[in-house]
């Protein structure tokens, strides 16, 4: 870890009277700016390595100083205004695909990084349960810890934690309130009414009897199953026992066999 030696040096550079080379600025200070998003105006902090922190202006009472303080509490570094946004940030905040967007999640604990990484892979317009994230992150039983991580998601919207929902079909909580979660999902065209209707009947997975594949209801494959060939299942185990195979796209996991 040669990085250990680099940080103090870089910090010392920040104290020199002469301006640091432009390329270093993002490593010494963190830039911030305000930008429009699907949650209204947001404050965004980023280094040269990517975006680190996003908070709706509303959540800090529109106060940029409060945002800077929250950032400092968490990352231990000061903020200075930035002149331009990192590549991809503005489209991403509007919910548009932005492959060029980079996130700086290096200093997070492994588990948090893995949880956020798995969450980031949920396609727009789809949802996954907390248990799915736990499994993708390599800790299938750390379901509740996943919730704890997402409650502190440093980069909401960019890591779409609003797409992580409860296994029973309810939406679950959201750092800025469940109403915003629902709003974001509906804006992505998730058919929440259909999900709720299925859940009402105890159905949490959908299979096609023509392909023999079973999916989460919001998977784009599931949404193409015609009602005539659609079968609902309460658990993935029941579907597998009926000869269905878990979809390779949405990867509904086989839950632990009940002894």
Of residues 28 and 171, the one with the C-beta less far from DNA: 171
H helical segments located in the chain? 3-15, 22-28, 64-75, 89-93, 110-120, 130-136, 143-151, 178-187, 192-200, 236-241
What is the Cα–Cα distance from 174 to 169, expressed in whole angstroms? 15
Kind plus residue range of the DSSP H or E element containing 31: strand 30-37
Of residues 13 and 175, the one with the C-beta less far from DNA: 175
What is the Cα–Cα distance from 135 to 141, expressed in whole angstroms? 8
Q: Minimum distance between the CB of residue 67 and DNA, rounded to whole angstroms? A: 17
Catalytic: 219? no
Would you say 129 and 166 are in contact if contact means Cβ atoms under 8 Å apart? yes
What is the Cα–Cα distance from 18 to 168, expressed in whole angstroms? 59
Place of tokens 């940030």: 89
Pairing relationship of beta strands 230-233 and 50-56 according to DSSP bridges: unpaired
Among residues 161, 215, 219, 247, the one annotated as catalytic is 161
Q: Minimum distance between the CB of residue 152 and DNA, rounded to whole angstroms? A: 7
Q: Minimum distance between the CB of residue 121 and DNA, rounded to whole angstroms? A: 16
Would you say 105 and 158 are in contact if contact means Cβ atoms under 8 Å apart? no
Burial zone of 9 (CB within 10 Å; 0-12 exposed, 13-18 middle, 19+ buried): exposed
Q: Minimum distance between the CB of residue 113 and DNA, rounded to whole angstroms? A: 8
Q: Minimum distance between the CB of residue 17 and DNA, rounded to whole angstroms? A: 35
What is the Cα–Cα distance from 149 to 133, expressed in whole angstroms? 11
Of residues 130 and 198, the one with the C-beta less far from DNA: 130
Of residues 25 and 198, the one with the C-beta less far from DNA: 198
Binding site for DNA (CB under 7 A): 109-112, 129-131, 139, 141-151, 153, 156, 161, 164, 166-168, 172-175, 181, 255, 258
Of residues 32 and 130, the one with the C-beta less far from DNA: 130
Known catalytic residues?
161
């Amino acid at each position: 870890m040669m990085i250990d030696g680099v940080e103090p040096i870089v910090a010392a550079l920040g104290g020199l009277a002469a301006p640091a080379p432009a390329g270093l600025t993002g490593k010494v200070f963190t830039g911030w700016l305000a930008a429009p998003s699907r949650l209204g105006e947001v404050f965004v902090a980023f280094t040269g390595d990517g975006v680190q922190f996003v908070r709706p202006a509303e959540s800090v009472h529109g106060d940029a100083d409060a945002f800077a303080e929250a950032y400092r509490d968490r990352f231990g570094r000061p903020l200075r205004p930035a002149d331009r946004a990192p590549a991809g940030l503005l489209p991403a905040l509007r919910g548009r695909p932005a492959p060029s967007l980079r996130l700086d999640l290096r200093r997070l604990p492994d588990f948090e990084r893995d949880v956020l990484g798995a969450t980031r892979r949920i396609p727009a317009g789809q949802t996954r349960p907390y248990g799915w994230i736990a499994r993708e992150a390599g800790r299938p039983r750390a379901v509740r810890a996943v919730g704890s991580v997402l409650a502190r998601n440093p980069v909401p919207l960019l890591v779409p934690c609003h797409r992580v929902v409860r296994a029973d079909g309810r939406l679950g909580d959201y750092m800025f309130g469940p109403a915003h979660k629902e709003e974001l999902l509906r804006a992505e065209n998730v058919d929440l009414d259909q999900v709720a209707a299925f859940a009402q009947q105890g159905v949490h997975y959908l299979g096609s009897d023509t392909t023999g594949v079973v999916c989460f209801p919001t998977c784009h494959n599931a949404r193409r199953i015609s009602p005539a060939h659609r079968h609902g299942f309460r658990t993935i185990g029941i579907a597998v026992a009926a000869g269905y195979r878990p979809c390779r796209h949405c990867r509904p996991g086989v839950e632990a066999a009940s002894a």
